[in-house]
Structure 1
């Protein structure tokens, strides 16, 4: 049997490449007679660049950027030439990722997206005509203000101190924004994310995402006010606000789906003229997933946590939907499985298996994620492989 293993990252413990390797090893143990191919995938978060580098054969350019608290960390951009265009791929989580912070450092009131601006600077220095920014897995909640400051839109003393500092941002904080827009005028900017969160409101980034990053209810409310104030400042600073094609009126970027992605980083990218695309859809296209799935008898995907948020806009849901076109079965191996059979069948999954079902299994998974993932995959292989 021909098996395609196409997982996402397993949280901060295993990247997509590591997860795919562990699952392939486990499948080889459980069904050594099968032909196994790996195709790691990403939703725009950690591992985004590794997946694309493997698929495109592009050139990785090493850079040094600031992490969410201003410390220098290694990062990279991926440069791909197709003969007509030079595309530079960026993984925002290299500068903003939650994995860059210790548990006691997680405070979305002070973390900054400054490092993402440095990554954009690096992309422009490479002569990019198209820049794709993968957004996901961030620790910030500053509406992309830090990124804008790094690009020269305004003073770092106001914009790069985290979301809380934006409460006091004066109306002239973004005087340099027109110059930044001019600099980007010849570049196609793409926001790659599957998050549909708006910037503000009860379903906005401060209300929904900030608590996951360490914000108390009080801090989340204060960040909501701060980001609302900053959105007004940015709206007044745009030299030519984008217009709604139907009504002809100025668009409210803060209400756009994806504006709240990664603590509002999506909002700032949209303000710079970014075109939003689904990160999973883009990765599936670039990696040639459709062809790989059609040439397989079974597709096996995986993720750290399969819950209600993964029912759409995730690698698992994207793999399931794309594989439906090939009439191949898809099974999922998840670190934790928090939805029922009805939900997984609705997604198009023929089977779903948890690495950890019991509390002691969760402890084992955390202690040795590779071995536990291999072992679970081997058991799944014995269930699904027909043998010689």
Structure 2
């Protein structure tokens, strides 16, 4: 395959690679974060430290590649929006998300997070960031796919069913299995409410990020500034909420440190930047549409690492989610096709345009044989 053909194939595939990277990163963070939470890590310090790590990692990149644009296009309006971005996801969403995970399991948390595409789709539709025409088939596919995805998430959440006897989970004793599968009812309700609220903040973050990127297109600088704002605001929140527990700030060579570094590099820094790049081309709905992938990954990997049992209901829900995801991707793909066709000149008018150009050129050539009147 020639280089030109390879680039022609890779160019439309870049957004898909980007969102798959995001979901792999989020899945890894769910596993690492739950392991650290089980060992007593504070979700407040997790939110602070991962944004501190992201700030220090992305600040040199922003200075090297975007030093001329960091402050050039900065206005009071953009500065306020960056502070709001730092509050929405790095502070509120992350604390609610991991607090909800503390009450439930990693698989349950990522399953509930599948309401994110639906919330984002509705907000983007209201704010006219997402083109929707009820009469068009691809718009109907996006709507139906969103509903199917949420339905699949609800199946995973509400329908348990028999436990799948996977070979690598046979070592789990009966008491541990009960503890993993029968979490306290009120804990599930509290966790579900926290995760749903977190998804709403996360969706608002994506919508606002898409708006900011239209006027402030320095992606590395925006990532660094958002993480810095989140680290400062999160530190204030942590000092208020955990003022009597100063030991949570201590750092050791353990899974907590892995969660801080991994979360900062992959999820906060890398996640914000990659989502921004994909969002410029495909919009916020496309970024969140792939969210179910992380749930499927966590459901299976969690059974290895966290000893979380898989149930028939979760597997059926995963199948439904994959179908809904396909519908959304198909609809978004046809959006791009329709947009490309609308931007192309009408093929019927092209011959007329060429004839017009030819006619003008002929007149100019013919006219050049006769001297202009003012030279006579």
Point out which structure has higher relative CO (alpha carbons under 8 A, 6+ apart): 2
Hey, which of these two has a bigger chunk of helix by percent?
2
TM-score scaled to structure 1, two decimals? 0.25
Hey, which of these two has a bigger chunk of strand by percent?
1
TM-score scaled to structure 2, two decimals? 0.25
